[in-house]
Amino acid sequence: MHTVIARIRSFYGQRPLHLLVLLGCFALAGYAALHAATDPAWPIMLAWFLAAVIGHDLVLFPLYALADRSLAALTRRLPARRAATRTPLVSPLNYLRVPALGVGLTFLLFLPGIIEQGAPTYLAATGQTQQPYLARWLLLSAAMFGVSAVAYTLALRRASAPSRRALAPVRAMLGHGERILAIGYQVLGQAGAVASTRALYYSTGEQPPRWHRIGWNQLAEVQWLKDRGVLVARGIDTAHPQQLEVPLADPGNLVESARSLIAARPST
């Protein structure tokens, strides 16, 4: 049995179930075509079908494919992480694709009602007008984008939760008006060093981690040694230079921020 399935897959390119589903789709389409052929209005239906195929494949598909590629290119240009907190950025691409697809499909589905096509016939059949279609479609579109925005916000919060937990001890040490500017990360993605407007905070690597603070006016230089994977900070005492080494896997823009703050020599 396995040999037969392997031969079918080798010849067809997919599993036999795929072929059965495809044959079922062709059978259903053939039944629909035969049933439509008995209707006197089949030339009109065929014309609409051909117009839909041509309109989609030659007009709509290139347009929304171009829009999707443009959107994907735009999201790739976004920074991988937020500059200050280095929070991983969740791609908004699918959170825009899904509601946009829903808006487009519902627009095509309710297009006759939205443009009020056949208004006298609709009024005679239902006793109602087609006027609410546009407003309801707009409300439905807003709801789809709103739900997607909420889902995206929740995804961002889940992605930023580890960073918020890691920075909680540092935030408790910040003084009034002191802000976090940059974060350096350890191997497991946890914060190992933090540059604020007034000081450098670093973790000793103990469990649980213990954070220490050293002001920028106490430091002469901060370097990132990529080959060793450590952040090196040297004190201002040239006679007895104090050197601090913090293991980091990703320094981010911490070194650049530290050098500019050391040069400015802010007070503690």
Higher-confidence position of 255 and 187: 255
Q: Are residues 248 and 187 in the same domain?
A: yes
Query: Which segment, 87-91, 168-172, 206-210, is predicted with the most confidence on average?
Result: 168-172
Q: Is the pLDDT of residue 6 over 80?
A: no
Q: Are residues 188 and 156 in the same domain?
A: no
Q: Is the pLDDT of residue 206 over 90?
A: no
Domain boundary among 166, 197, 219: 166
Which whole number is the average pLDDT over 165-185?
86
Asked if residue 226 is part of any domain, the answer here is: yes
Count of residues for the chain? 268
Domain that holds residue 159: 78-166
Q: Are residues 150 and 212 in the same domain?
A: no
Q: How many domains does the chain have?
A: 2
Asked if residue 214 is part of any domain, the answer here is: yes
What local confidence, expressed as pLDDT, does residue 268 receive? 47
Domain boundary among 166, 183, 216: 166
Asked if residue 7 is part of any domain, the answer here is: no
Q: Are residues 193 and 244 in the same domain?
A: yes
Q: Is the pLDDT of residue 240 over 60?
A: no
- pLDDT tens-digit series, residues 133-172: 999 999 999 999 999 999 999 998 887 777 777 788 888 8
Which whole number is the average pLDDT over 197-211?
82
Higher-confidence position of 6 and 38: 38
CATH code of the domain covering residue 232:
2.30.29.30
Which whole number is the average pLDDT over 13-27?
88
The secondary structure of the chain, three-state, reads CHHHHHHHHHHHCCCHHHHHHHHHHHHHHHHHHHHHHCCCCHHHHHHHHHHHHHHHHHHHHHHHHHHHHHHHHHHHCCCCECCCCCCECCCCHHHHHHHHHHHHHHHHHCHHHHCCCCHHHHHHHHCCCCCHHHHHHHHHHHHHHHHHHHHHHHHHHHHHHHHHHHHHHHHHHCCCCCCEEEEEECCCCCEEEEEECCEEEEECCCCCCCEEEEEHHHEEEEEEECCCCEEEEEECCCCCCCEEEEECCECCCHHHHHHHHHHHCCCC
Q: Is the pLDDT of residue 238 over 50?
A: yes
Q: Are residues 146 and 227 in the same domain?
A: no
Q: Are residues 162 and 106 in the same domain?
A: yes
What local confidence, expressed as pLDDT, does residue 86 receive? 46
Which whole number is the average pLDDT over 212-238?
86
Q: Are residues 162 and 125 in the same domain?
A: yes
Q: Are residues 162 and 227 in the same domain?
A: no
What local confidence, expressed as pLDDT, does residue 152 receive? 94
Q: Are residues 162 and 181 in the same domain?
A: no
Asked if residue 225 is part of any domain, the answer here is: yes
Asked if residue 204 is part of any domain, the answer here is: yes
Report residue 124 CA to chain centroid gap. 48
Asked if residue 217 is part of any domain, the answer here is: yes
Query: For residue 209, what pLDDT band results from cuts at 50, 70 and 90?
Result: confident
User: What does the mean pLDDT of the chain come to?
Assistant: 84
Asked if residue 41 is part of any domain, the answer here is: no
Asked if residue 87 is part of any domain, the answer here is: yes
Q: Are residues 119 and 178 in the same domain?
A: no
Higher-confidence position of 102 and 72: 102
Which whole number is the average pLDDT over 22-49?
88
Q: Are residues 189 and 158 in the same domain?
A: no
Q: Which of helix, strand or coil describes residue 101?
A: helix
Q: Are residues 133 and 95 in the same domain?
A: yes
Q: Is the pLDDT of residue 75 over 80?
A: no
Domain boundary among 121, 141, 166: 166
